[in-house]
Amino acid sequence: MTTINNLSGLDKAGLLFQMLGESLALTLFNDMTESDLLKIRIRSKELKNIPVSIKKEVLEEFYFKLLSNQNKNPEKESNEALFEFLNKLNNEQFFYLLANESSRVIALAVDQVDDAKKQNFFSRIEDPLQKNEIIMEIGNLDNIPLEAVVTIANDLKQKVAFLPAPKEFSRGGGESMAKILSQMDADEAQQYLDQIQVDDVELYNDIKQYYLTFEDLLNMPEHLMKDFWMNPDVDPDNLAKALRSYDEEVTNTIVAYLPKRKQAMFTPIDKPISKKDIRSARAQLVALARTLVDDGQFSMDDIFGQEELE
């Protein structure tokens, strides 16, 4: 089998299946019967050691016929780019649309969107082999016939109609868990956190990127203790309430970090006060620390004493 003239129509169809991939080829032969498609599948597997030059000729011949048919039946041109509808999808919809497509179709679609959407899509793929396959397919998109590109675009556009409308919603995770724990009683929240640390270390570490307790503020590295407790927004009376249940040694350690003027203003509380007042006072100090983290004055890793490795 040395020239294209030696190939039958079945042979050519089988080679197209090989070159384009079955899922893409099926979009081009969607008017064939199941019996004919089965014959093509079988022949495609039988054809081996076909020279690349012959495969290229088959593809060019098929491409020429497609263009000829298209010129005979020109469609009304659209002012909108062929894949513009993909840019109107949010990241969630875009991933959901392509989740069950072949690597070739995914590669073609991903190549049409901006870099931010590309990056988001690839970040959601858990299988490194699939990710690599899609990336390799992107490098070989030039051998897809124009008619196949149009067919894929139309097919995906029809599927978009069945996607859920864009909705803002939370996917949980560490940040959501941290918010829930921060609204609980401190002892109860710590019980949950201890259990999560045992059951799911990865989730625990994620939560600790967002979840601060008053206890964390009492155990910061010394250089942060100086910066934080010297902050002008630390109120001595509020601090006295927050330290109500701590022993004298802990209280004296924290007070020593206050400016001299505030040290003189600080008066330990010996009489009973409500747990609500204590929780409120501690929550205000934790909120102050969160504000400083959000402003970039220091990080959560700084608070926990996790220094970066050089």
31 within domain boundaries: yes
The arithmetic mean of pLDDT across residues 274-292, rounded, is 90
Residue 49 shares a structural domain with residue 105: no
- Flag whether pLDDT at 68 surpasses 70: no
The arithmetic mean of pLDDT across residues 286-308, rounded, is 81
Return the top range by mean pLDDT from 18-27, 29-38, 211-220.
Answer: 211-220
pLDDT bucket at 65, cuts 50 / 70 / 90: low
- Flag whether pLDDT at 77 surpasses 50: no
- Say how far apart CA 206 and CA 91 lie, in whole Å: 22
**229 Cβ contact list (under 8 Å, min separation 6):** 254, 257, 258
The DSSP 8-state label assigned to residue 30 in this structure reads: T
User: Among 38, 72, 106, where does a domain finish?
Assistant: 72
More confident site: 281 or 46: 281
Instruction: Please give the model's pTM, rounded to 2 decimal places.
Output: 0.44
How many domains does the chain divide into?
Answer: 3
The DSSP 8-state label assigned to residue 166 in this structure reads: P
296 within domain boundaries: yes
- Say how far apart CA 34 and CA 267 lie, in whole Å: 87
Lowest mean pLDDT among 166-170, 183-187, 205-209, 253-257: 166-170
What integer pLDDT is reported at residue 165 of this predicted model?
A: 65
Lowest mean pLDDT among 114-128, 159-173, 247-261, 290-304: 159-173
126 within domain boundaries: yes
User: Among 126, 141, 160, where does a domain finish?
Assistant: 160
The arithmetic mean of pLDDT across residues 105-122, rounded, is 90
60 within domain boundaries: yes
249 within domain boundaries: yes
pLDDT bucket at 30, cuts 50 / 70 / 90: low
The arithmetic mean of pLDDT across residues 88-100, rounded, is 89
CATH of the domain at 107: 1.10.220.30
Return the beta strands (E) in the chain as ranges: none
- Flag whether pLDDT at 36 surpasses 70: yes
Range of the domain at 264: 212-303
Say if CB 189 and CB 181 are below 8 A apart: yes
pLDDT bucket at 74, cuts 50 / 70 / 90: very low
37 within domain boundaries: yes
- Say how far apart CA 178 and CA 205 lie, in whole Å: 11
Nearest to 258 by CA among 244, 239, 277, 241: 239
Q: Which residue do the tokens 């999808």 mark?
A: 89
Calculate what percentage of the chain has a pLDDT beyond 90. 23
77 within domain boundaries: no
pLDDT bucket at 235, cuts 50 / 70 / 90: very high
Say if CB 293 and CB 225 are below 8 A apart: no
The arithmetic mean of pLDDT across residues 126-137, rounded, is 87
What integer pLDDT is reported at residue 171 of this predicted model?
A: 54
- Flag whether pLDDT at 69 surpasses 80: no
What integer pLDDT is reported at residue 158 of this predicted model?
A: 87
> How far, in Å, are 115, 269, 271 from residue 130 at the CA level?
19, 62, 65
Residue 60 shares a structural domain with residue 110: no
The arithmetic mean of pLDDT across residues 78-92, rounded, is 79
User: Among 40, 72, 104, where does a domain finish?
Assistant: 72
177 within domain boundaries: no
Say if CB 164 and CB 94 are below 8 A apart: no
Average pLDDT, the chain: 81
What integer pLDDT is reported at residue 294 of this predicted model?
A: 84
Span 152-183, pLDDT tens digits: 888 898 888 777 666 554 555 777 788 778 77
Residue 234 shares a structural domain with residue 273: yes
